[in-house]
Amino acid sequence: MKLHQEPGGEQQELMKMWQENPLPGVMDAAQIVREIARRTEKFDRTIWWRNLREYAAGAILIAFFAWRLFDSASRLIAVAGLVAVGFVMIYLRWSHRQTRPLDPSADAKSYAAALIDRYDRQIRLLSRVKYWYVLPLYLWMLLSIMMTVPSQEMGRRIRAALFVTALSIFVIWLNEGYAVRKLKDKRKKVEALLEEEKNEE
Task: Average the pLDDT over 163-171 and give the result.
Answer: 97
pLDDT tens digits for 35-88?
777 878 888 899 999 999 999 999 999 999 999 999 998 999 999 999 999 999
pLDDT on residue 26: 38
pTM, 2 dp: 0.76
Q: Tell me which residue of 91, 87, 66, 74 sits closest to 146, measured CA to CA.
A: 74
Quick check: 190 pLDDT over 60?
A: yes
CA distance readout (Å), 55 to 48, 52, 59, 86, 90: 10, 5, 6, 10, 10
